[in-house]
Amino acid sequence: MKFNLLQYLILLIVIFAITFVITPVFRSIARKLKILDYPGGRKLQANPVAYLGGLAIITPITLGSFLLLFTSLSLDLKLQLYLGLLIPALTIAFIGLLDDIYQLPPFPRFISQSAVGIITSFMLYLSGSGVEIFENKSLNSIATVLWVVTIINALNFIDNMDGLATSISIVTSLAMFILSYQSNQYLVAALSLAITASCLGFLFWNKRPASIYLGDAGALFLGFLLAAISIRIDLENESVPIRTIVLILILAIPIIDIIQVVISRMVRGKSPFEGGQDHISHLLLNRGLDQRVVLFILTSFALLFTVIAILLAEVI
């Protein structure tokens, strides 16, 4: 199925509008049910903030994907979309929602997230959509697992400041739209743009001072989709090192953040699964920078990295 630019524009506007409208509805539900993120400890906000923002992003993307059932797409493509992307994403989002509501302990939460990541990454690999950087099939399978699990948790880690994870997701998904569109992967491009649109609609309510958060449901949902879509993009550049660098660059900020957080905590003898104010955003805030300035800096670097990635993929 081939889409033209007008159809992509309509998709962008419709998903943006739906997300923009339904986000306050989920905010009201969260406040009524007391599903809130309370201040204190490592939290930066001064007042309780509603969760369930993830549902505002999940809903339009899921409904839009279900509409593809009525298109002329082949059964194989539909199965790849639902079994390899949508159903796993919804599964891991459900785990995140349980955490938002019941505040699961860090280690069991990480294990459950990783278990879903491992299972779904194998599904991706079996469908021919896994990481392919080695000649050995087993090594590629392990690399797929590591990539999916790392990105899922990296985006969840960086969701620690108003608008940050949402802004990073916008930049990353827009880059994936450009790369997949240039590779004539129109369905992958459409899903990437749907993520961009939903995050744009949500960002209005999530920017500082945020009145609603993604929560683990939203962060895990986005993290899985970004990880899974990124390794489905069929870059025209056949150089394995370049293809690997491109994938890393479009998700550079979350990757850098999770690496430095895990290393710093292990050096200090702390569990990587415990929360703390040791993320890149916190380190910049500790230097006296305003939250809006920190958001601008990290988003700008994310944008710079994605531009370099696109140039590498197309030029070299």
Domain boundaries, the chain: 5-238
**Cα(203)–Cα(60) distance, integer angstroms:** 15
Cβ atoms 304, 182 nearer than 8 A: no
**Cα(230)–Cα(251) distance, integer angstroms:** 9
Residue 123: predicted pLDDT: 74
> b/e map of 62-99 (b: 16 or more CB within 10 Å)?
bebbeebeeeeeeeeeeebbbebbbebbbbbbebbbeb
Q: Which residues touch 200 (CB under 8 Å, ≥6 apart)?
A: 16, 19, 170
Residue 293: predicted pLDDT: 96
Residue 226: predicted pLDDT: 96
**Cα(66)–Cα(97) distance, integer angstroms:** 21
Quote the pTM value: 0.93
Q: Can you give the pLDDT of all 316 residues of the chain as single tens digits?
A: 678 889 899 999 999 999 999 999 999 999 999 999 888 666 666 789 999 999 999 999 999 888 876 676 777 777 777 877 888 899 899 999 998 898 888 777 777 777 877 877 777 776 667 788 888 888 888 888 889 999 999 999 999 999 999 999 999 999 999 999 998 888 889 999 999 999 999 999 999 999 999 999 999 999 999 999 998 888 877 788 888 999 999 999 999 999 999 999 999 888 887 778 889 999 999 999 999 999 999 999 999 999 999 999 877 6
Helix (H) / strand (E) containing 138: helix 137-158
Return the sign of the alpha-carbon dihedral for residues 42, 218, 15, 33.
negative
> b/e map of 26-48 (b: 16 or more CB within 10 Å)?
bbeebbeeebbbeeeeeebbeee
Report the DSSP beta bridge partners of residue 49: 37
**Cα(296)–Cα(298) distance, integer angstroms:** 6
Residue 122: predicted pLDDT: 75
DSSP state of 85: I
Closest CA to 23 of 209, 203, 202: 202
Residue 72: predicted pLDDT: 67
Cβ atoms 50, 33 nearer than 8 A: no
**Cα(142)–Cα(96) distance, integer angstroms:** 24
Residue 275: predicted pLDDT: 75
Residue 107: predicted pLDDT: 74
DSSP state of 209: S
